[in-house]
C-alpha cells in the first residue's frame, strides 16, 4: 500500500504510474500477440473478426467496470482518511457485485452476439469467425471481472506493483498458449480465444491466493463477505456516470465500426491493426491519469487539496513529453509497425495512413485524460461523462460519417483528433470552474474535522 499524501508530487505519481503502465503494456500484449498470430497464421478475415468483437466486449464490460472505478475512488478516499473498516466493506461489496454481473452479462452476450454483428453490417464472411471468438471470450468474463476488480482495489490502496507481477505471468501464459493452440493444435481463432480465457483465469485465481496469504487488507473469503448497501449506493453514484460513459463510448466505437465496415474487409483489418498499435501508444497517458486519480482521491481524503494542482501540473508535463515522443515514433515507423501484423500491402498502406493522422495528435488525448482524471479522483464523474459523450456522439461520429462520404476511410481517421480537441477544451474549462472539488466522498468542516456520516 502506498500513501500518496506525503512526498514530492511528481515522484509519487511517476512511481505509482510506472508499474501500472508496465502492467498495462503486458495486458495489451494479449491483443497485440493475438493480432500478430491471427494476421500471419489465420488470415485477414479472422483479424477483422477480432477487431469487430472489441467494441462489443467493451460495451458488455464498461458499465460494470464503471462501478469498479467508483469503488476505487471510495477506497482511495477511505484509505486516505485511515478508515480501514470501510475500505474492507467496499472491497467485499465490489467482489459480490462483479460475480453476479459477470454471470448475467456472459449469458446475454453469448445469446445476442451474432445479431449484433449483422446489425453493424459486418461482412458475412467475417461473422462466423467473430461469433466464435466472442462467445468463447465471454464465457470467461468472470475471470476478467475478477482480476480487473482486484487491480482496481489495489490501485485504490496505492499498490500498483502487485497487479503488474500477475499481468506478466498472465501475458507469458497467453503467448505460450496462443502458439500452442494455433501453431501446433491448429485450433484457429478459437484457440486464440481459449488461450485468453485460460490466462485470465490463472491470473485471477493466483492473485486471490497470494493476496489472501500476504496482504494486510484484502482477505477474500466467500463465507465471510459483507454486502454494504450504503457503500454500494455510493459506488453507483460515483461509478455509474463513468460506467455509462464507457458504455456509450463502446456504442460509439460500434457506430464507428459500422462506418468502417462499409469499406470492406481490408479497411476493417487495417483498422483492427492500427487500433492495436494506437491502444498501446495512448497507454502511458491513461496510466498516468489513473495514477493522478488515486493521488487526488487520497489527498482530498486527507484534506490536502493544495497538492492536487501540483500533481496535475506534474502529470501534464510527463504525459506531454511521452506523447510527443510516441508521435515521432508512430509517424516515422508507421508502415514497419503495420507489417509486423500482416504482409498484405493494401492493409499496410491503409493502416499506416491511420497512424500518421491520428498519432500526430496524441498530446490532445493525453491532456484530455489528465484533466478528466482530476475530476474523477474527486468523485465528480458526471461532467466528464457528458464531455466524453459530446466529443464522441456530437462530434467524432457525425464527422467520421460525413468525411468518409467525401474522402473515403481517411475521413474516419481525421474525426478522431477533432473529437479529442473538443473534449479537451470542455474538460479544461470545467476544471477551471473548480466545481469538481465539491464532490469528495470524505468531507471536512472549516476546522479540518471529518464531517459526521462519511
pLDDT tens string 37-58? 988 889 888 888 888 888 888 8
C-alpha cell at 83: 478508515
Q: What percentage of residues in the chain have a pLDDT greater than 90?
A: 40
3-state secondary structure of 186: coil
Span 136-168, pLDDT tens digits: 999 999 999 998 888 888 877 877 778 778 888
**Cβ pair 260, 276 in contact under 8 A:** no
| pLDDT above 80: residue 24 | no
Segment 338-343 shows an average pLDDT of 92
Angle ∠(310,311,313) on CA atoms, nearest 5: 65
CA distance 442 to 454: 6
| Residue in the structure block whose three cell numbers are 490532445 | 364
CA proximity to 294, closest of 90, 81, 76, 79: 76
Q: pTM score, two decimals? A: 0.75
| Residue in the structure block whose three cell numbers are 479522483 | 377
CA proximity to 305, closest of 314, 297, 317: 297
Q: How many CA atoms are closer than 13 Å to the CA of 221, on its beta-carbon side?
A: 7
| pLDDT above 70: residue 360 | yes
Query: For the chain, what are the domain ranges?
Result: 9-439
CA distance 297 to 168: 27
Amino acid at each position: 500500500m502506498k500513501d500518496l499524501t506525503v512526498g514530492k508530487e511528481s515522484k509519487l505519481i511517476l512511481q505509482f504510474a510506472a508499474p501500472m503502465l508496465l502492467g498495462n503494456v503486458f495486458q495489451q500484449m494479449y491483443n497485440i500477440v493475438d493480432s500478430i498470430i491471427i494476421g500471419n497464421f489465420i488470415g485477414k478475415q479472422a483479424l477483422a473478426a477480432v477487431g469487430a468483437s472489441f467494441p462489443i466486449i467493451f460495451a458488455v464490460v464498461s458499465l460494470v467496470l464503471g462501478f469498479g472505478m467508483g469503488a476505487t475512488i471510495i477506497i482511495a478516499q477511505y484509505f486516505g482518511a485511515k478508515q480501514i473498516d470501510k475500505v474492507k466493506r467496499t472491497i467485499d461489496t465490489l467482489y459480490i457485485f462483479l460475480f453476479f454481473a459477470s454471470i448475467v452479462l456472459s449469458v446475454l452476450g453469448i445469446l445476442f452476439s451474432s445479431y449484433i454483428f449483422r446489425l453493424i453490417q459486418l461482412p458475412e464472411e467475417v461473422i462466423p469467425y467473430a461469433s466464435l471468438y466472442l462467445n468463447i471470450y465471454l464465457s470467461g468474463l468472470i475471470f476478467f471481472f475478477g482480476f480487473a476488480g482486484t487491480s482496481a482495489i489495489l490501485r485504490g490502496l496505492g499498490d500498483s506493483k502487485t497487479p503488474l507481477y500477475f499481468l506478466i505471468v498472465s501475458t507469458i501464459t497467453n503467448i505460450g498458449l496462443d502458439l500452442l493452440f494455433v501453431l501446433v493444435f491448429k485450433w484457429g481463432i478459437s484457440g486464440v480465444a481459449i488461450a485468453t480465457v485460460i490466462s485470465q483465469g490463472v491470473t485471477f485465481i493466483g492473485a486471490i491466493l497470494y493476496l489472501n496469504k500476504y496482504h494486510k487488507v484484502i482477505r477474500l473469503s466467500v463465507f465471510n463477505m459483507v454486502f454494504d448497501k450504503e457503500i454500494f449506493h455510493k459506488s453507483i453514484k460515483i461509478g455509474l456516470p463513468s460506467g455509462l460513459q464507457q458504455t456509450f463510448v463502446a456504442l460509439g466505437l460500434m457506430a464507428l465500426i459500422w462506418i468502417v465496415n462499409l469499406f470492406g474487409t481490408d479497411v476493417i483489418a487495417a483498422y483492427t491493426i492500427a487500433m492495436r498499435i494506437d491502444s498501446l501508444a495512448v497507454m502511458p497517458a491513461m496510466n498516468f491519469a489513473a495514477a493522478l486519480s488515486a493521488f487526488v482521491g487520497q489527498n482530498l481524503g486527507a484534506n490536502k487539496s493544495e497538492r492536487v494542482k501540483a500533481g496535475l501540473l506534474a502529470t501534464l508535463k510527463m504525459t506531454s513529453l511521452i506523447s510527443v515522443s510516441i508521435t515521432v515514433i508512430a509517424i516515422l515507423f508507421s508502415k514497419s509497425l503495420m507489417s509486423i501484423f500482416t504482409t498484405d500491402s493494401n492493409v499496410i498502406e491503409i493502416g499506416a495512413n491511420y497512424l500518421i493522422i491520428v498519432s500526430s495528435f496524441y498530446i490532445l488525448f493525453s491532456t484530455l485524460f489528465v484533466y478528466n482524471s482530476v475530476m474523477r479522483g474527486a468523485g465528480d464523474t458526471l461532467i466528464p461523462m457528458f464531455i466524453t459523450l459530446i466529443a464522441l456522439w456530437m462530434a467524432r461520429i457525425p464527422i467520421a460519417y460525413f468525411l468518409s462520404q467525401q474522402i473515403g476511410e481517411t475521413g474516419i481517421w481525421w474525426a478522431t483528433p477533432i473529437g479529442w480537441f473538443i473534449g479537451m477544451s470542455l474538460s479544461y474549462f470545467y476544471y477551471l470552474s473548480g466545481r469538481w472539488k465539491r464532490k469528495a466522498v470524505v468531507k471536512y468542516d472549516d476546522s479540518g474535522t471529518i464531517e459526521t456520516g462519511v
